[in-house]
Amino acid sequence: MNLQHTITEAVKKAIGEHYEATLDSVEIQPTRKDFEGDLTVVVFPMLRVVKGNPVAIGTAVGEYLVANVEEITAFNVVKGFLNLVVADGYYISLLRNITGDKNYGKVPPSGKAILVEYSSPNTNKPLHLGHIRNNLLGYSVAEILKAAGHKVYKTQIINDRGIHICKSMVAYEKFGESETPETSGLKGDKLVGNYYVKFDKAYKEEQSYLVAQGKSKEEAEKRAPLMLEAQEMLRKWEAGDPETVALWEKMNGWVYDGFEETYKALGVDFDSYYYESNTYLLGKDNIEEGLKKGVFFKKEDGSVWCDLTDEGLDEKLVLRSDGTAVYMTQDIGTAIQRVKDFPDIGGMIYTVGNEQDYHFKVLFHILKKLGFDWADNLYHLSYGMVDLPSGKMKSREGTVVDADDLVVEMTDTAAKISEELGKLEGYSNEEKNELYRMIGLGALKYYILKVDPKKRILFNPEESVDFQGNTGPFIQYTYARIQSILRKADELGVSLTVPHKALHLKEKELLKIVEAYPETVQLAAENHSPALIANYIYDLVKEFNSFYQQVSILGADDAEDKSFRVVLSRKVAEVIESGFVLLGIQVPERM
């Protein structure tokens, strides 16, 4: 039982004994720095069931806690806030108990598994900055859920069919001259993406010509020869034309190889893959079943709909009048198929941009109406766009920020700043390059993940690699500083024990933050928010740096102080590393 739970139960007993009233809950928060104390019980909410003066109530409860909870040594009341002083021995015992626990903050898996879908790119272009946020969010949420005790499956659905894929294929047939990734020296996804841009350029030229011939803009868009060829190619693909399918397989294969390189560079992975070319017919049988159950209804033209007006939504098309599926049909079928593929799934998380918020509300309501109990545990991990100082990105015009290029830029920026700081004496070129990669990627990931997923981000590469402030490199540098302390402590033969002693204020403040790590992991899992982990680690690092500046560690006169502070520093480093692992960020041993 943790201390906050003990205090909660004791406060309820105190109120019961003194006022013959029952509290449903007790609000406890860290004591503000300008008051004496470690934990604060908020008295104001108690006034709903207890009549009286907040100061008098706080005093009565404080006296009860000091008398009945051995960890509480003193209290003070400021207006409606009961500030409690926690015994040094409690925090010393905490450090003893967690020293050597490499899994501190994590719990073993139990209960139903959760499937996390992320990435889900189109195969007509390379991954870009928006995909980076998607991948980093999905991967991190999956890792946080694992740490919080869930079994997790990571998956994606690759959008490998449709008119946009055929545009790249048509352009390749027209302009490709048998070019391959090997002959061009380009990654496969970049090569195919180039043809998507070429299609758009040539298509716009054709539209301009037709408009000049007197066609309307709408007519020109529909009748441009390239668009007609792309539509014919899609028809051939759906009919299984061997030549069309062979070209589709060849170009998609190039893209998959390119994607894998990018995923490896980003440090993300997947347990399974779904392909839209295999799933786009799923869901039709479920629509038929839903019609029989009255979940769906048919209109006069034969189209099938779901009426969600009672849920505050609208009527949603799930099958066209000609019997063809829409995206909603496919998503219904894919969700049901995933539960068949992974029978232990108890819920799913879809990492998709906030422009699809309405789509997922509808999808989840329909699955509930179809009677699937797991539909209550579906979650749309909605996130905002990522902008650059230079503005928005457009795929068709080739103005996207390519993911691979951004990783290289981040590494180069880290190299430039590190060289200017001059902290790398004695490093080999190989060690320097690995460190630059680690710092650059760490800066990118931290900058994106420290922001609440729902918020839009303006990403500034230079700002993210700053070695001061709320940045990945600042945290990595603090971790490396602690490793240097630990190496020196080892050379000096410092005893790694946790003696019982009077705590320095900065030791206690640091331990209070360390204690909050397991709860932070659980909160981040419940809220599907890596930002809670990122900002917790930043707070921990800020507190460690304050501790480092005000308290002598290796230079402490007292041997017990020295041992205690080295062990405490080591635990802080372990928590930093653990939290950064959940964000997919590496930490360097030296910087």
Work out the number of other CB atoms within 10 angstroms of the CB of residue 339. 16
Residue-wise pLDDT for 279-303, tens only, equals 988 999 999 999 999 999 999 999 9
In the prediction, which pLDDT does 395 show?
Answer: 42
Query: Where do the domains of the chain lie?
Result: 3-86, 403-582
Phi/psi of residue 259, each to 5°?
A: -60, -45
Tell me which architecture the domain covering 403-582 has in CATH. Answer: Orthogonal Bundle (1.10)
What CATH topology corresponds to 3-86?
A: Gyrase A; domain 2 (3.30.1360)
pLDDT band at 460 (very low <50, low <70, confident <90, very high): confident
**Residue range 432-446: average pLDDT?**
94
Q: Please give the average per-residue pLDDT across 409-423, as a whole number.
A: 84
Strands 28-30 and 39-42: antiparallel
- 379 φ, ψ to 5°? -140, 130
pLDDT score at 391: 53
pTM of the model: 0.93
- The dihedral built from the CA positions of residue 253, 270, 528 and 114, taken in this order, carries a sign that is positive
CA-CA-CA-CA torsion sign (175, 180, 182, 185): positive
- What's residue 400's pLDDT? 66
With a cut of 80, say whether residue 397 has pLDDT above it: no
Other beta carbons within 10 angstroms of residue 224's beta carbon come to 21
pLDDT value for 591: 83
Contact status, residue 251 vs residue 168, Cβ threshold 8 Å: yes
* Residue 99: per-residue pLDDT: 95
pLDDT, one tens digit per residue, over 76-101 is 999 999 999 999 999 999 999 999 89
Condensed to tens digits (0 to 9), the pLDDT of residues 343-395 reads: 999 999 999 999 999 999 999 999 999 999 999 999 999 999 888 776 544 44
**Has residue 490 got a pLDDT over 90?**
yes
